[in-house]
Amino acid sequence: MLDKSPYEPLNAATLTRRLGGMPELTRRLGPAAHWQVREVGDGNLNLVFIVESPKGAAVAKQALPYARCVGESWPMSLERAFFEYHALVRLGARDPGRLPEVYAFDQSQALIVMEYLAPHVILRKSLVEGVVLPELGGHLGRYLARSLFRGSDFAMDTAHRKADLALFAGNGELCGISEDLIFTDPFRASPRNRVTAGLEGDAAAARADRDLKVAAAALKRRFATSAETLLHGDFHTGSVMVTDRDSRVIDPEFAFYGPMGFDIGSLLGNLMMAFFAQSGYRADHAACIAYQDWILDVAETVWWVFAAEFARLWKSGRNGILGLRELFEDVGHEIGARSVLTDLMEEVWRDTLGFAGIEMHRRILGLAHILEFEAIANEGLRAECERRALAMGRVLMLRARTLRGPREVSALARTMAERPL
Ligand code: SR1
Ligand code: MG
């Protein structure tokens, strides 16, 4: 039985008392008297505790009634834990083993208790350290295909999907944060925006860039109105934990029904920024080039594995109202089905590039910056790396219709980084 006492932000002692009364936790960890608990959260929003015992370990994540990265002046509802819990369960079922297992959910405390991932580290840190992860692109490409296909009307029973869409429509507060921070703030003067010293002129140029703002408006419309599938909603390199053989997806509290390209684009935009950041901390030129090439290879692999796995699922698992086998395969029109898939992939690719480009803008011109750039100690150098990323992001947003594939995007990145092709 869960304790239904009123919400309170927890500390090591109160968390231990609370979890120590939950049989599902004592079964895994043994009696609470032997637990060690520490708060380790360094993200933008929540408290995160690691609970360890001689028998096992768990992570407890608690939503705060405000945005941790700003403070109590930015109040937030606790409901996001409810949506994160439901997203963890659904996305975990769509690509088994790729998300942490959920052990318990205590809604009154906005508290999710789940698998402790060890020895995993946040992918952002691994990209700053220059670690090569041979299976990363395959893991993330497959995860994207499985989660995006299986949450869509190509695969799901439509009554079930519509009910789920209604449930996640309740996550409007977090969608609103994305709508403001990603699609609007970077292109206007907002008190929330921050830029590296030296980039003030670039920020002003973005605010004055009519073509860029038209592209941002179109992307915001896609984000807000294209309820294609259940998305992670914040799928960047801080939402992936890795070892050299495993990759896990965490933190889907921004989950909502949106366009498929949003999750893919968020990831690719963050990989691109990691690419541009490398020259900020890798003085050895050859090592820098080699690691940048690996990052581009991951980005290309993500797309190709996504496309191949999506096509496989398309052939075998099209059971929803958009499956339409009755119009195609059932009457011998396989070519028609292939055309529908080709059209869809072209649209997802365009969205992916646009969302990647806008993610690159918001992480440089907006409120929420990223470790990959912030780890560059020399501010002038950081500004230079960020400037190149902004230029690349602008091309992605404006030329999404003409860039034909991931190799072309990689070539563009090398050009923007002033590297020979
Ligand atoms: C106030 S929240 C700022 C950012 O942190 C989260 O991780 C999301 O990316 C959000 O945009
Ligand atoms: Mg997060």
Q: How far is CA 202 from CA 4, 198, 387, in A?
A: 51, 8, 7
Q: Give the tokens for residue 401.
A: 């219709």
Closest alpha carbon to 178 in 235, 138, 121: 235
Which residue's C-alpha comes closest to atom 4 of ligand 1? 368
Q: Is residue 132 domain-shared with residue 97, that is, in the same domain?
A: no
Is residue 63 domain-shared with residue 135, that is, in the same domain? Answer: no
> Residue 96: its pLDDT value, please?
98
pLDDT of amino acid 134? 98
Question: Is residue 2 scored above 70 in pLDDT?
Answer: no
420 — pLDDT class (breaks 50, 70, 90): low
| Minimal-distance CA residue to ligand 1 atom 3 | 368
Task: State the distance from the centre of ligand 2 to the C-alpha of 368, rounded, in angstroms.
Answer: 11
Q: How many helices (H) and strands (E) does the chain have?
A: 15, 12
pLDDT in tens, 8-44: 999 999 999 999 999 999 999 999 999 999 999 988 8
Q: Is the pLDDT of residue 4 over 80?
A: no
Which tokens belong to 148? 């995006």
Q: Separation of 238 CA from ligand 2 center, angstroms?
A: 7
341 and 279 together in one domain: yes
User: What average pLDDT does the structure give for the chain?
Assistant: 96
Considering only CA atoms, which residue is closest to atom 6 of ligand 1? 44
Pocket residue to mutate for ligand 1, from 42, 48, 181, most atoms within 8 A of Cβ? 181
CA of 42 to the centre of ligand 2 (A): 10
Do 298 and 346 sit in the same domain of this protein? yes
Residues 105 and 151 in one domain: no
Ligand nearest to C-alpha 67: 1
Residue 399's pLDDT band (cuts 50, 70, 90):
very high
Residue 54 lies in a domain: yes
Residue 167 has pLDDT above 70, yes or no: yes
Q: Indicate whether 108 and 30 sit together in one domain.
A: yes
Judge whether 7 lies within some domain. no
Which range marks the domain in which residue 80 is found?
A: 12-115
- For residues 115 and 226, give the distance between their C-alpha atoms in angstroms, rounded to a whole number: 33
Which conformational region is residue 142 in: left (phi greater than 0), alpha (psi within -120 to 50 degrees), or beta? alpha
Pocket of ligand 1 (CB under 6 A): 44-45, 67, 69, 177-178, 181, 234, 368
Mean pLDDT of 184-195: 98
Choose which residue among 173, 234, 360, 374 to substitute to test ligand 1 binding: the one with the highest number of ligand atoms within 8 A of its C-beta. Answer: 234
Same domain, 93 and 139: no
Please tell me the number of the ligand nearest to residue 185's CA: 1
Q: How many residues does the chain have?
A: 421
Task: Give the domain CATH number at 402.
Answer: 3.90.1200.10
Paired residues of 62 in beta bridges = 47, 111
Which atom of ligand 1 is nearest to 76's Cα?
Answer: 1
Q: 96, 115, 134: which is the final residue of a domain?
A: 115
Strands (E), 170-290: 229-231, 240-242, 247-249, 256-258
Residue located nearest, by CA, to atom 2 of ligand 1: 44
Question: Residue type for 194, please?
Answer: R
Same domain, 88 and 126: no
**Across 185-209, average pLDDT:** 98
Residue 1 lies in a domain: no
Q: What's the structural domain count of the chain?
A: 2
Is the same domain home to 163 and 278?
Answer: yes
Give 292 Cα–ligand 1 centroid separation in angstroms.
26
| 220-227 mean pLDDT | 98
This prediction has a pTM of 0.97
Atom of ligand 1 lying closest to residue 178 CA: 11
Nearest CA to ligand 1 atom 7: 44
Q: Which amino acid is at 230?
A: L
Q: Is residue 6 assigned to a domain? A: no
> Ligand 1 atom 1: the closest Cα is on which residue?
67
Q: 384 is written with which tokens?
A: 């230079």
Whether residue 344 sits in one domain with residue 263: yes
3 falls within a domain: no
Residue nearest to atom 11 of ligand 1 (CA): 178
Token pair recorded at residue 69: 């990265």
Q: Are residues 45 and 101 in the same domain?
A: yes
Say which CATH number the domain at 46 has: 3.30.200.20
In a domain, 70, yes or no: yes
pLDDT of residue 44: 87
Atom of ligand 1 nearest to the CA of 45: 2
In the prediction, which pLDDT does 421 show?
A: 52
CA distance linking residue 153 with residue 155, whole number of Å:
5
Residues 211 and 97 in one domain: no
Mean pLDDT confidence for 144-164: 98
421, amino acid identity: L
Q: Last residue of a domain, which of 115, 143, 165?
A: 115
Residue 170 falls within a domain, yes or no?
A: yes
- pLDDT of 1 higher than 60: no
> Does residue 179 form part of some domain?
yes
Percent of the chain surpassing pLDDT 70: 99
| Distance from residue 287's CA to the centre of ligand 2 (Å) | 30
Burial of 190 (0-12, 13-18, 19+ CB in 10 A): middle
Domain boundary among 115, 150, 165: 115
Q: Over the stretch 240-291, which tens digit does the pLDDT of each residue have?
A: 999 999 999 999 999 999 999 999 999 999 999 999 999 999 989 999 999 9
Alpha carbons 142 and 146: distance in angstroms, whole number? 6
Closest ligand by atom to 69 CA: 1
- Tell me the backbone φ, ψ of residue 103, rounded to 5 degrees: -95, -35
Q: Rounded to an integer, what is the distance from CA 366 to the centroid of its chain?
A: 17
